[in-house]
Amino acid sequence: MSKEWFPLLPEQASTFAWQVDALYLLLVGLSVFFTIAIIAVIIYFSIKYRRRSESERPAAIHGNLPLELAWSIIPMFMCIGVFALGADLFFNMYRTPTDGIDIYVVGKQWMWKVQHPEGKREINTLHVPVNQTIRLTLTSEDVIHSFYIPAFRTKKDAVPGRYNTMWFEATQVGEYHLFCAEYCGTQHSGMIGRVYVMELDDYQRWLVSTSAGGEATGQSMAQLGEVQFQQLGCQTCHKAEPGGRGPDLNGVFGKPVELASGETVRVDETYLRESILTPAAKLVKGYPPIMPAFQGQVSEETLAQLVEYVKSLGAAKK
Partner 1 sequence: MSTATAAPPATNGHGETENFLTAGYGFKTWLLTLDHKRIGLLYLGCITVVFLMGGFFAGMIRAELMTPQGDLVGAETYNKMFTLHGVLMIFFFLIPSVPAVLGNFVLPIMIGAKDVAFPKLNLLSWYMYASGALLALLAMVLGGVDTGWTFYTPYSSTYANGYVALVVVGVFVNGFSSILTGLNFMVTVHKMRAPGMTWFRLPLFIWAQYATSMIMLLGTPVVAITLLLVVLERVLHIGIFDPRYGGDPILFQHMFWFYSHPAVYIMILPGFGVVSEIIACFSRKAIFGYSFVAFSSLAIAVLGFLVWGHHMFTTGQSMYASMVFSFITFFIAVPTAVKIFNWTATLYKGSISLKSPMLYALGFIGLFLIGGLTGLFLSTLGTDIHLHDTYFVVAHFHYVMVGGMVMAFLGGVHFWWPKMTGRMYPETLAKISAALVFVGFNLTFFPQFIMGYLGMPRRYHTYPPEFQVYHVMSTAGATVLGLGYVLLIAYLLWSVYKGPKAPANPWAAKGLEWNIPSPPVVTNFDTTPVVTWEPYPYEQPEEHPSDSQHAYPKKQEEHLV
Among 108, 116, 120, 153, binds partner 1 (CB under 8 A): 153
Site string for partner 1, 161-190 (x = CB under 8 A): xx-x------------x-xxxxxxxxxxxx
Q: How far is the CB of 26 from partner 1 (least distance, A)?
A: 9
In terms of Cβ atoms closer than 10 Å to its own Cβ (0-12, 13-18, 19+), residue 230 is exposed
Among 18, 75, 236, 285, binds partner 1 (CB under 8 A): 75
Please say whether the beta carbons of 86 and 30 come within 8 A.
no
Please say whether the beta carbons of 202 and 175 come within 8 A.
no
β pairing state of 256-258 and 264-266? antiparallel
Q: How far is the C-alpha of 300 from the C-alpha of 318, rounded, in Å?
A: 28
* 31 near partner 1 (CB under 8 A): yes
Q: Which of residues 85-114 bind partner 1 (CB under 8 A)?
A: 85-91, 93-95, 109
Cβ proximity to partner 1: between 183 and 261 the closer is 183
Is residue 100 left, alpha or beta, with left meaning phi > 0 and alpha meaning psi from -120 to 50?
Answer: left
* 18 near partner 1 (CB under 8 A): no
Cβ proximity to partner 1: between 182 and 226 the closer is 182
* 292 near partner 1 (CB under 8 A): no
Q: How far is the C-alpha of 233 from the C-alpha of 22, rounded, in Å?
A: 53
Q: Which of residues 122-151 bind partner 1 (CB under 8 A)?
A: 142-144, 146, 148, 150-151
Among 121, 135, 155, 282, binds partner 1 (CB under 8 A): 155
Q: How far is the C-alpha of 308 from the C-alpha of 303, rounded, in Å?
A: 9
